[in-house]
Structure 1
Amino acid sequence: MESQFAALLRRHRIAAGLTQDELSAGSGVSVQAISTLERGTRRYPQPGTVEALADALHLDPDQRAALASAASRRGKTGTDKQRPKPTVAASPRQLPFASGDFTGRVREMDLLTKHLLNAKGVSVTAITGMGGIGKTTLAVHAAHQIADHFPDGQLYLDLRGFGIGPPLEPLDALTYLLEDLGETPPADVATASARFRTALADRRLVLLLDNASDQEQIRQLLPGSGGCAVIVTSRRSMAGLGGRHFQLGEPPLDESIEMLRRISERPDAPEDDCAEVVRQCGGLPLAIRMAGARLASRPTWPVAHLAERLADGRRRLDELQLDDSGVRATLVLSIEQLAGSDDPVDVQAVTMFALLGLSDSVDLTSALAAALSNSPEPEAVVVLERLVDVHLLATPGPGQYRLHDLVRVAARELSEQMLTEPDKEAANTRWIKRVSAVVWRGSEYAGHGVTREKWIDKEWLAGADDLPTAEDILAWLDRERPNLVGTVQQAAQLHPMLAIQLAIGLNAYYALRRAWLEWLQVNEAVLRLVSAGQDRVAEGLVLHDLGAAHAELGQYEQAVTPLLRAVEAAEASGDGNLQALCLSSLSHVLERTGRITDGIPYAERARAIGLRLGIPPRAAWACLALGMLYLKTGATEAAERHFTEAMDLLVEPGQEKYRGMIAQNVGVAYREAGRYDIAGKALQEGLELYRLAGVAIPQAEVLNELGRLRMAEGRFDEAIAFQSEGLAIAGQHGDWLCEADIRKSLGEVHRAQGRLPEARREWRIALSIHEQHDAHGAAHLRDLLAST
């Protein structure tokens, strides 16, 4: 068991906010001697040493006496029968020094002190949070704040739940507490606990139990009756302890900046530079304190210079480390406490923590953890929740997990220490292959298309057998969507071929969710990997998808170059379908940029290839593109001829949906050309074809287009009727993107009628949907709301 003197010295130093170096400078005792004393290696400090340390720590008389007493009985245990009779301390005053640079926590202090003062009978309050978040500092300041209301004194005990050596056993803790109350401690925990409750029954005092390892360590130390206020701090959850719980998070930015300025002794430091230092510290009070101390000891450093040094993630923890009290040391204590546990889940949590350090994903999920650890997902959840319990992981929502920025750095360091290169590669490969399997299974449900169908390896789908339906696949991808771009980017560094495979497979999912920016990002991530020309089909697909993503974002000029390169790669590949696809997309983009005559030859080539290869859908889409191009030139007869040919190419049974898509696009083209009569007939035909095909959401989309047509004609009631019908279908089938589109159009109809409140209501709902699902189009809706 660690000596009481070592524990007392360390907790007084930490409570005072001093490093070992700073305590050495203030006391004249060497850093080596202080370190030896805190580790318990040096067992009998001289009285002069104890006095010097007490002076530097600004201890009050009672605290000095306790420190001296602990030094004189070093090495004794709670069962030592030669123990001298304890000194009676009827009204102990053991609270550590309250640091003078305590800043912020205004809301927490207010809630905490009010609760402690207003509670009836015994009150138990737990303050939990990750290491370095400021639990002890807050508890000490709150205890000092209320001390005058508890006339029988204050007891303080560091339970050593996270620190050097094992946690304090309940019997040892009770021994210290009883002696400090002038009681003789018995030899067994049950009797000691009962005597402690008796000793407190008629007292009103503050009991601060700091750094608890878990709830079981605390239970025997709680008063049974009376008017005591108990404050417990721990890195573990204390949900089962009862009483009030405060889970401490990062303080607000303004409080953090004020703290940095006070500790660094730079009250006028530039706010932006201070904010950047705070951001690099992840808002963690201990890290901010370390950063402030570093600036105070380096008065020639601008704050911006420290911010630049902290920006290097590889050495960030080094910058925030002063002797043994820095951020790294604090986080390591949590990890070591898990590693030394007898609970196998705790031990598994250490490995899981290291594995999570391999991921670049901001949001971590149980699926990711299961793949990295090669374990069933329910088992991974148990381990993840254990990391949450010790505040090494945060959980922003059910099934969602997140690493604090500095904790992520520590996880990466641990992964470097614990895991071999083959271990790391195997873990990353499992995750990338898992994502790829789900992505390609989703592509299969949507229909790969001719080129992707020939390009894929069916073995890629084998890792998604536990997701049997399209709904399961889509739900999984929606949960993992925040990680997908990062996964492709990381795979591009670690597994180039898997990265290409994953990026090409994401086409169907991103098209369904209209996540055009993310689609752009994944193709940009692998562009350099396919540019070597070894797989011209892959190169053509990536370049085509990159250009198509630009086009969907309205960036038509930026789409031209990748689509020209896609045509070149497709021609070199010998894949005629891919060539026709790229030519059709290029002709569409050129039409949108106003280069009509440039686009016609590309569409003609696409039509010829589709007809030659006997791929009616490809030829039909080329005919549609030609019709749109000729309509823009005023050649209405040529346009009508090509539109008719497009429909005639899709006459086989089962192609009603695709005929509906052609008719819908023809209707939109005629509406944009001002030919409302023809547009109405085409859109109605599209609606009937969709109904015949039994597809619901396309019906809602074409109803919205009919509503926009009627609005252009000034027939507002009919417009609202069409769009309301479409809105009902979208709501019934849960297509939130379609709902948002229709609500945007409804708002435009209301605005055209002069009904601005109704218009703004629809746009606000549409904006909320876009923001909730991070969908493209939110910026335009914000502009609409700002302009009305």
Structure 2
Amino acid sequence: MTDQAVDTGGVRLSAHESAEGHFLGRTRELKELRADIERAGLDTLSGRKAPRARVLLIAGRPGSGRTALAEELVRQVGDRYPDGVLRARLSEPDGTPVPLERTARELLTALELPAPAGAGEDELTEALRTALADRRILLLLDDAAGAEQVDALLPEAPDCLVLAVSSGPLTGIADVRPCTLGGLDTKSAVALLTRYTGTVRITVDPRAAESLVEACQGHPATLVLAGGWLAARPKAAVSDLAKRLHTAAEDGMDGTPLARVFRHVRSDLPGPAARMLRLLSLAPAGLIDPHTASALAGCSVGTARAILDDLVALGLLHAVDSPLPQYDVPGCLHPLLRACAESQERPAELQLARARMLERTVRLLQSCRAITETDSPQAREKLSAMPREVRFPNPRAAADWLRIRRPALLACARLAVADGELDNLARRLMSQLVRAMVAHEGTQAAAADLYDVHGLVLDVARRRGLAREEAAALLNLGDVDAQTGRTQDALARYRLALDAGRRANDPYATGRAMESVGGAYQELEDHDRAADWFGRALAERLARGERDHAARLYGRIATAHTYAGRYGEALRNWRAAVAGYRRSGDVAAQARALSELARVQEYAGRFAESLRTCQEAAEWARRADDVRLQAALQLRLADTLERLGDGAAARLHRVAAERMLDEEAAEDGASRKQDANACEIRSTPSED
């Protein structure tokens, strides 16, 4: 395994990354943690083999350097785990626990293992534990909100190590001793300040540096803010900042050292930077790029980028290691930023900032999709009409942006739906997100994310009483359930979609739901009900004069009767399908229907009729230039001729089939893409 990290949106699989020379202090804590790895557990002492991985816990307040300590331990012991390091963050920046289902899915994706779309928490966590059972891996679970999150992800493999980071104890997990963090020792804290101020200001007044460390209580995040402020003001004395903080503490201002230093740093920011900083608390998943900051603050992208870089220098933001400029808000500062936004911005201003951010995201997604459709003059015209800052230079750049920003885009959709007051923007955002994912990744590759988005669409549709969109979302969710083997779940969704389609008086959704109900019953081998529901869908199509769809449904009814052994009914419906395709002029479909008709005739023991029908089907397949169908029909002719006792003719047909397939393989070795049957959210605004 290489030393490169693979970013999967909150979860990473990598070998250890060297941070030697950048980590300060915590010598005692590192020694204790390394000793704890070697310590015999309770199971070993009792003579039993450990049933699960050893769990180490680093406990401390946000900003105490707990994640940095965990990463340093990973760097030191990562070589012992040849299968690499898995990382996952278990809480959102605002402290909301990340659903276990999402975490397990991301971890499976990092392991390049399948995670079925729509699968539940139990199924995914079990799949993860199974995958880790025969591996020797180090699992870093950062910012755990509680023991239940960690417990559900524990590998059942004693050779694995789980390193959990949390604010408190993980009560309920056996044999875990927390390594509790306080402030840095004075020497390490001064060294941390020196990185920002340089050695001169520390050397000339070492007592002032120690006084500042005391005022910050050795809290690493507080020291970073203090150091960033001093670095931005080369002429400021360390002693002045230390005095201000001690005075603020004596006056009882802003309870914690972090809050006091944050208030001091923020008060010196220019107005636009201060406003942007507090609005960053609205950024989805705490992930910020220049477009997000620009939309929130209502400034240009270039100005936003410059302000973000200044905030990084002050320690108020972290730059994310990413091919695109991205930043995140330190978790310890998120509550402070949110409090500032709520106290200094009117609710209407915060809502307007959210709306600007959502609108910008919609525009970027529109551009991301449009760059894939430049073969169309209309698409090129729409693309050229978009503002330059939201256009992508080529499809590859758009695909990279979509992949890198995926966690933020999905979080943006979740936040928009949870807000409840921006549903029209939320609907447009989700519609464009689905289209962009399908355009760049394909329906199958993006199925898990699309399932989540369709679930959000369903929430909004039900909240707003949008029956047509409710039907579309239910059909899409049902399709994914059906594809992943959850047929009963799919059947329930299809029935609900039928009810919603009827309420909306939407014939498309109603017919599609009826047919899907029939397909689910057929998958469940209830062929009588399948034929009945296909028949209902057929009646709807015939009433609206949709002959093409009617012909296809005749074929589905015939298939259900065939499985049930009712060959007479099957033959009658296949003949109706052939007649329908003949009237519509669909030569290829007519050939396939004749082929199925010949198959049923063969099942019914009518070999002579099957031979004639098969020959007719072969002729229509030749006219349709469908080589694969011609080859299949040649093989069927060979089987029928053998049953009729003509072995010589059967051999000739087999040779002809092999020749056709060889020629087809030589002409076209590329695999064909499978077409996905998705129900469009047709009542969503479709402006591009």
TM-score (normalised: structure 1): 0.41
Higher RCO (CA 8 Å, separation ≥ 6 residues): 2
- Larger Rg computed on CA atoms: 1
TM-score (normalised: structure 2): 0.47
